[in-house]
Structure 1
Amino acid sequence: MADRSVLVTGGTGGLGGAVTDAFVEAGWRVVVPSREAAPGPDPAAGDVVRLTADLTDPVEVRHAVEVAAGDAAAPLRAVVNLVGGYAARGRVHETPVAELERMLTLNLRPTWLVTAAALPHLVAAGGGAVVCVSSRAAVAPFRGAAAYATAKAAVLAFANAVAVEYRPDGVRCNTVLPSVIDTPANRAAQPDADHSRWVTPAEIAPVVRFLASPESAPTSGASVPVYGRA
């Protein structure tokens, strides 16, 4: 039986599936909230617990965190924030402010809400880890995606703030910065790209698991590039 739990947001996506599998293989109890209803009649399979939650809603976030922290035999020791979204609407003067707000809602709001709700549980458990997903665009923007780059930079700044504020409590916070992730959706959007240069979910997942694990105990406030060959 698992003796520790991790809450993985975005666990049903291309990257999320690989991250969930990595934690299960390492013996964690994994709680995966998603906006859509979990498939099948039983929302729990082995050490994966699936539930429906809108992670932009504070009330539903609190419920998801309570489920993740609700097993006394496997206290919540890590949170992995994978939820996010991408859009490229042109240069800054061509991008309506509503697009910026949408990117912040998709990328920053769930990360903020989930982390804020989980931190008291991590502190009470004696420490733990938060892992956030930003993007290479946060530190190296490209044309046409200013709203996306800004939102991902906000995620990075938030993670660094958590690292500073909760270091005395034994809670670490680190961020991974992928380039283009090799998922079916990205391949469909960029059919002519050199996909061999992209980073795969299977390559990123062990990095995320390491940052959430006790083996990375000395590390907090790190921004880890996971670019592949891109």
Structure 2
Amino acid sequence: MRRARRGEPSAPLTAVVNLVGGFAMGGRLHETPVDEFERLLRLNLRPTYLTCHAALPHLVAGGGGSIVCVSARAVERPFPGASAYLTAKTAVLGLVGALAAEYGGDGVRANAVLPGVIDTPANRAAMPDSDRAGWVAPERIAETVRFLCGDVPVNGARVPVDGP
């Protein structure tokens, strides 16, 4: 894909994917310092807001498009020690739902993918003794994101992406 040169019109924006986020294990909620709770909100929710905030005027002006945000399968299967992370990833789902309602009439579709544990070198190193049978290959997530970025009549979906 060629980038537009200075002075040339660029192609309209048709899709935005927000992949930024991170995980941190902690104690139960009463053991989680407010700074850590807010750090995970800033890490997982703020980039989603900022990306959408910047992209929406372009998507609306171009007649629509797709926004795909990454949440986590864990919001449907909570576990102890992740209250800050789960709150942030659940907030991403709330934002996606609001975007779907607010911008659907403008032709902008907003959807979320909810991957399970992603099979990455970092996760393998952090959990060396884990059973990786159900871990999600990054390629599966990419395939789902690509589908949602296409011209499909899906808006406001929460699409789980599980392992093999």
TM over 0.5: yes
The CA deviation string for residues 14-40 of structure 1, in whole angstroms up to 9 with x for no partner, is xxxxxxxxxxxxxxxxxxxxxxxxxxx
The CA deviation string for residues 67-98 of structure 1, in whole angstroms up to 9 with x for no partner, is 9xx97342111100000011111111111111
In the alignment, does 2:23 pair up with 1:74?
Answer: no
166, 180, 204: which one aligns with 2:103: 166
| Aligned equivalent of 1:195 | 132
| Aligned equivalent of 1:220 | 155
- Greater relative CO (CA pairs within 8 A, separation 6+): 2
Write the distance in 2 (CA, Å) between the matches of 1:115 and 1:73.
Answer: 19
* 1:167–1:71 CA distance, 2 compared to 1 (3 A): farther
Letter in 2 for 1:82: L
| Aligned equivalent of 2:38 | 101
* 1:135–1:76 CA distance, 2 compared to 1 (3 A): same
In the alignment, does 2:83 pair up with 1:146?
Answer: yes
| TM-score, scaled relative to structure 2 | 0.93
Matched residues, number? 162
Q: Say whether the 8 Å CA contact 1:83–1:111 is kept in structure 2.
A: yes
Structure 1 position 197, deviation (Å): 1.8
| Aligned equivalent of 1:37 | none
Q: Say whether the 8 Å CA contact 1:139–1:153 is kept in structure 2.
A: no
Letter in 2 for 1:224: V
More strand as a share of residues: 1
Structure 1 position 227, deviation (Å): 1.7
| TM-align CA RMSD | 1.7
The CA deviation string for residues 135-155 of structure 1, in whole angstroms up to 9 with x for no partner, is 012222111110000000000
Unaligned 5+ residue runs, structure 1? 3-46, 50-66
| Aligned equivalent of 1:135 | 72
Q: Say which SS state the counterpart of residue 105 (structure 2) adopts.
A: helix
Write the distance in 1 (CA, Å) between the matches of 2:8 and 2:48.
Answer: 22
Write the distance in 2 (CA, Å) between the matches of 1:102 and 1:172.
Answer: 28
Structure 1 position 190, deviation (Å): 0.4
| TM-score, scaled relative to structure 1 | 0.67
108, 117, 122: which one aligns with 2:54: 117
